[in-house]
Amino acid sequence: MAGRPVTSGAVTRFAPSPTGLLHLGHAFSALTAAAQGDFLLRIEDIDRDRCRPEYEAAIFEDLAWLGLTWPVPVMRQSDRMAAYREALARLSPLTYPCRCRRGDIRAALSAPQEGALPAGPDGLIYPGTCRGRSHAEAGPDDVIRLDAARAFDALGRDAVAFTDQGTRHVLTRQQFLDGIGDVVLSRRGMGTSYHLAVVVDDAAQGVTLVTRGLDLFASTHIHVLLQHLLDLPVPDYLHHRLIRDTAGRRLAKRDDARAIRQYRAEGASPANIRRMVGL
């Protein structure tokens, strides 16, 4: 199996969303993860509107072509709704239903603010309009937000921290409140959010080293807070560099030109792909 170390002991994973074809950035991410230890695959398909079975099939096929293997059955987030519901219920004393739409949030933030609106890894920093609403008041279209200040207080913590390749990264309570805020734990019509699902599943799969791109670095602080709140172990992290196109832009799923499929069709080998991403 490609990219497998002789010993390591880490349990790691690649967790793509089947919303498009895998590109060079995904190949790099999966190969980097597989080089760290026992490699798991997880399909992150909570966004039923954007996920497609044909993309999921293409993920399996492209990864196998790259030389990766993984245990089956593969965990699929759409099968895990009961686990997310349970986690949400446990967090309910620290969450509230929010009925604000993006426009409401923008309007509330623009009033005191000149120029660019404050945003973090979960989007605009929520101004707190619905904070304090009770679950009894929840409407069917509400999202569920974490009251981040109360969460830190309940834990008696003034910071969250994680280790990335031996370096400890700390974010204080105040930095979290200013730069991230009340994150969404359950999206409209989804029953969970990326942040909640990823934390619940990494723990359920026994992942000890989360390998992911640097674009998710700021989100990791959210995940560590949730791990503490849910009494889950905090894994180690490896945030890897991002693969960029020739103009220096991060690759996105819409960049079909850099899809692994496309290179395969043009006759590239797995070794060519490794070289292209600098492995």
Q: Which of 154, 159, 177, 216 binds ligand GLU (CB under 6 A)?
A: 216
Q: Around 219, how many Cα atoms within 13 Å sit in the side-chain half-sphere?
A: 19
Closest to ligand GLU by CB, 23 or 173? 23
Residue 198 Cβ vs ligand GLU, minimum distance, rounded to whole Å: 5
**Left (φ > 0), alpha (ψ -120 to 50) or beta: where does 21 sit?**
beta
Please tell me whether residue 22 binds ligand GLU under the rule CB under 6 A.
no
**By the rule CB under 6 A, 173 interacts with ligand GLU:** no
Strand, coil or helix: what is 49?
coil
Q: Which residue is nearest to ligand GLU (CB)?
A: 212
Site track for ligand GLU across 27-46, x = CB under 6 A: -----------------x--
Distances, alpha carbon 142 to alpha carbons 88, 138, 170, 171, 192, in Å: 14, 6, 32, 29, 12
Q: Output the CA–CA distances (angstroms, integers) from residue 104 to 4, 109, 236, 243, in the order listed.
A: 49, 9, 37, 35
Residue with structure tokens 């245990």? 71
Nearer residue to ligand GLU within complex by CB, 80 or 212: 212
Question: Which has the closest alpha carbon to 150: 88, 95, 212?
Answer: 95
Q: Which of 10, 11, 12, 17 binds ligand GLU (CB under 6 A)?
A: 17
Token pair recorded at residue 203: 């723990």
- Identified binder of ligand GLU from the candidate list 10, 11, 12, 16, rule CB under 6 A: 16
3-state secondary structure of 51: coil
Closer Cβ to ligand GLU, 44 or 122, answer by number = 44
Per-residue contact flags (x/-) with ligand GLU for residues 236 to 275, judged by CB under 6 A:
----------------------------------------
Task: Tally Cβ neighbours within 10 Å of residue 46.
Answer: 23
- According to CB under 6 A, which one of 30, 198, 200, 243 is a site residue for ligand GLU? 198
Q: Give the whole-angstrom CA distance, residue 113 versus residue 94.
A: 28
Closer of 81 and 109 to ligand GLU (Cβ): 81
Residues forming contacts to ligand GLU in the complex (CB under 6 A) are 15-17, 44, 198, 212, 216
